[in-house]
């Protein structure tokens, strides 16, 4: 195993943008380089998080905005303290499928929420742990939702659309805009990728960034 100091990398984007596929490919690539890698996700990485995810994504509940925000933050706190931080301390590269930016966009920007408050809450629950790089997979919501629906049909574990996928196109458009705005605010951290391109092409771009950061030749 090569020793690098631990680092956090996140993958973000609208529903069906392909971030989970890309996170898996990136993890496999880093693993092939003999680096210590952990692939994780939000919400739902810890035992408690899995219960929170079930509640958050169920169409049976429509939590009030602040309740929803607090549940995502509770999931993040458990994740950071019990999984991310211990792995970083052991020198792992931790790849997360969604993190702080999803909260900023979904609970903040797209809902006219208090963005400063969300920044402060994210800071509080993560202890200021920010990703070194964030890959934002950007595509029009029509394309993302089409993919997400196809996935729901073929994926037995998600037989029906979850609560977010049921929201209307205008909401998803807002989500996309929010992510792009964040990318303009943090150009040193957020790498925007055209998610309408094919999987291999996107993976190659991600690999180049990761190689420059972690692969010593
Ligand atoms: P997924 O599509 O990556 O499985 O994410 C589950 C849903 O949770 C997705 O619709 C985005 C939403 N979400 C938030 O609204 N806020 C958050 O902070 C996170 C992490 C996810």
Strands in 7-13's sheet, in edge-to-edge order, are 37-41, 93-97, 7-13, 133-138, 190-194
Distance 34 CA to ligand 1 centre (A): 30
pLDDT single digits (tens) 82-108: 999 999 999 999 999 999 999 999 999
Which residue CA neighbors atom 13 of ligand 1 most closely? 102
pLDDT at 215: 87
Distance 41 CA to ligand 1 centre (A): 9
Is the model's pLDDT at 160 over the cut of 70? no
Measured in Å, residue 58 CA sits from the centre of ligand 1 at 12
Residue 181 to residue 202: CA distance in whole angstroms? 21
Atom of ligand 1 nearest to the CA of 100: 18
Ligand 1 centre to CA of 85 (Å) is: 21
Q: Region 11-28: what's the mean pLDDT? A: 97
**pLDDT band, very low/low/confident/very high, at 166 (cuts 50, 70, 90):** confident
Is the CB–ligand 1 distance for residue 164 below 6 Å?
yes
| Predicted pLDDT at 168 | 85
Q: Is the CB of 43 under 6 A from ligand 1?
A: yes
The pTM (predicted TM-score) of the whole model is 0.94
Would you say the CB of residue 109 lies under 6 angstroms from ligand 1? no
Query: In order of start, what are the domains of the chain with their CATH numbers?
Result: 7-214 (3.40.50.300)
Asked if residue 68 has its Cβ within 6 Å of ligand 1, the reply is no
Q: How far apart are the C-alpha atoms of 206 and 49, rounded to whole Å?
A: 28
What percent of the chain has a predicted confidence (pLDDT) above 90? Answer: 83
Q: How many residues does the chain have?
A: 217
Cis check for the bond before 100: say yes or no (omega within 30 of 0).
no
11 Cβ below 6 A of ligand 1: no
Mean pLDDT of the chain: 93
- pLDDT surpasses 60 at 76: yes
- Residues 43-66: what's their mean pLDDT? 95
HSE-CB for 159 with a 13 A CA cutoff: 0
Per residue in 115-157, pLDDT (tens digit) is 999 999 999 999 999 999 999 999 999 999 888 888 877 765 5
């Amino acid at each position: 195993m090569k020793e690098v100091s631990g680092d956090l990398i996140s993958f973000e984007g609208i529903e069906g943008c392909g971030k989970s596929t890309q996170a898996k490919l990136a993890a496999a690539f880093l693993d092939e380089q003999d680096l210590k890698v952990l692939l994780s996700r939000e919400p739902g990485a810890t035992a408690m998080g899995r219960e929170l995810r079930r509640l958050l994504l169920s169409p049976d509940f429509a939590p009030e905005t602040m309740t929803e925000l607090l549940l995502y933050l509770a999931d993040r706190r458990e994740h950071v303290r019990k999984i991310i931080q211990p792995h970083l301390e052991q020198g792992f590269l931790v790849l997360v499928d969604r993190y702080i930016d999803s909260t900023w966009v979904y609970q903040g920007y797209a809902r006219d929420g208090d963005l400063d408050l969300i920044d402060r809450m994210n800071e509080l629950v993560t202890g200021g742990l920010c990703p070194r790089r964030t890959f934002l997979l950007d595509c029009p919501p029509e394309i993302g939702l089409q993919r997400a629906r196809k996935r729901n049909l073929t994926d037995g574990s998600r037989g029906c659309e979850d609560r977010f996928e049921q929201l209307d196109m205008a909401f998803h458009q807002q989500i996309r805009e929010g992510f792009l705005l964040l990318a303009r605010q943090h150009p040193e951290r957020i790498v925007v990728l055209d998610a309408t391109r094919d999987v291999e092409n996107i993976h190659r771009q991600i690999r180049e960034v990761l190689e420059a950061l972690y692969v010593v030749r």
